[in-house]
Amino acid sequence: MALRILLGLAAVLGLTAVFLALLVVTDGAGRGLPAWLVTLGLGILLWRRRLLPVVIAAALTATVLIPTAPTERRYPAELSFVATQHWDLPTGSRVAVYHYPASGVRRPVPLVYLNGGPVRSMAVLDHRFLQLLAGQGYDVYAYEQAGGGRSELLPMDRYSISRSVRDLAAVAGRVSRGKVDVLGFSAGAVVLTQALADPQAAAHFRRAIIAEPGPMDGPTAHLAGHPGSPSARGLVPAPTGSRSTHLPRYAVAFGLMRLGLLSPGTGLLGQAEGVNAFTAADLGSDTASAYCARDAHRIPIEDTEANFSFNAAASLRIQQTIKDSPSIAQQLSRSTVPTMLMIAECSSQLREWATAVLAADPAIQRTQYLPGVGHHLWNGLDNNNPRAAATITTFLDEKPPPSTG
């Protein structure tokens, strides 16, 4: 009896492995149904006298084929404190734009903010920071990259770092007939750096601020190095809430995509369904990595469940185009846009991602180190938001940097 059970278990595991291998080989074609049918046929052929293991394996693997999230895109609800505009760009992208009009003495040059992600909704925490900047006289515009947040999806093969650069230039051109100042954070800083290396895009910028960038081109993406001081990653409990990755379909799809075994455009999982399914809890310890270890006991809530949205497949696709892109160092050596680099003490980003490329940029006028904060420089804790705002405004106003201690 024990031998029969072991043989049956081996059959179930073996057929499951065959199914996963066929998913990889076919890139999930036909929502995984062809891989499942071939696995079922193989199981019946090999185990026709004892079909129970085949039935169990078929039932287990069938859970990977059945959607539990809507397959048509469902966008986040409108925010109560700012209107969402939708702009049709000449690039073909339709993006969600948020405008915070200046109050008080208005600065003459509008400010465009590019959030991190990539292809993620802009967190409520970032919206609050932009309100602070608007309160200091900046006419602030922010937009969510195509495919992220309330912006409309693109076909998967159209996501790329070069498309992101063209979209940024198009938004800047629509915001102002003159030039704009641009603040790019994290993945948004990568887009901004690539744009600074593109003379047509850079022509729209008066000043640029690169805050906590990720890898900026192919050679940089392959660098090893060191992050900043320890972050809170691993020091706080796992985030609560439902996870799509607790369900077989999404655990397999996102897991194999992250491993590079399924393409971002896999036939197993539609892009819209993937965005609908992904939750904030699926990010795991990513949020904790944006804070200093000393702040592990008081990490703020960055976003609301209703506002959160992350397009994991499009994000992987854009990151791959960055890894495949050539060096931009030579183009940056000709940059004339005055630029500031912002780096956090407890940054989870490798220092080399910024220094290796930006060392070639003669227009880097200021490198501002901010002690006491992690990757998310403006996080609502203590006086971190006013400190970050002062760092930004003094650079844009061409004034000496403030004390950041």
CB atoms within 10 A of CB 166: 20
Question: What pLDDT score was predicted for residue 105?
Answer: 82
Among 69, 101, 76, 8, residue whose Cα is nearest residue 247: 69
Question: What pLDDT score was predicted for residue 139?
Answer: 96
Which residue is associated with the tokens 């960038």? Answer: 213
CB 103 within 8 A of CB 135: yes
CA distance 381 to 383: 6
Give DSSP secondary structure letters for 68-131: -S-SS--PPPPPSSSPPEEEE-TTS-EEEEEEE---SSPPSS-EEEE-STTTBPPPHHHHHHHH
Q: Which residues contact 138 (CB under 8 A, 6 or more apart)?
A: 102, 107, 110, 111, 393, 396
Question: What pLDDT score was predicted for residue 7?
Answer: 65
Question: What pLDDT score was predicted for residue 8?
Answer: 67
pLDDT along the chain (405 residues), means of 10: 69 88 95 93 83 86 94 94 97 98 91 94 97 96 97 96 98 95 97 96 97 93 89 85 90 94 95 95 86 93 93 96 94 94 93 85 91 95 95 95 76
The single-letter code of the amino acid at 13 is L
Using only C-alpha atoms, the chain has a radius of gyration, in whole angstroms, of 24
CB 69 within 8 A of CB 270: no
Question: What pLDDT score was predicted for residue 245?
Answer: 87
Question: What pLDDT score was predicted for residue 53?
Answer: 83
Backbone angles phi, psi at 347, to 5 degrees: -60, 135
Question: What pLDDT score was predicted for residue 43?
Answer: 86
> Residue 341 burial (CB < 10 Å; 0-12/13-18/19+)?
buried
Question: What pLDDT score was predicted for residue 308?
Answer: 94
**pTM (2 d.p.):** 0.93
Question: What pLDDT score was predicted for residue 145?
Answer: 96
Question: What pLDDT score was predicted for residue 361?
Answer: 84
CB 340 within 8 A of CB 368: yes
CB 365 within 8 A of CB 229: no
Question: What pLDDT score was predicted for residue 1?
Answer: 62
Q: Which residues contact 327 (CB under 8 A, 6 or more apart)?
A: 217, 218, 219, 220, 357
CB 235 within 8 A of CB 299: no
CB atoms within 10 A of CB 184: 27
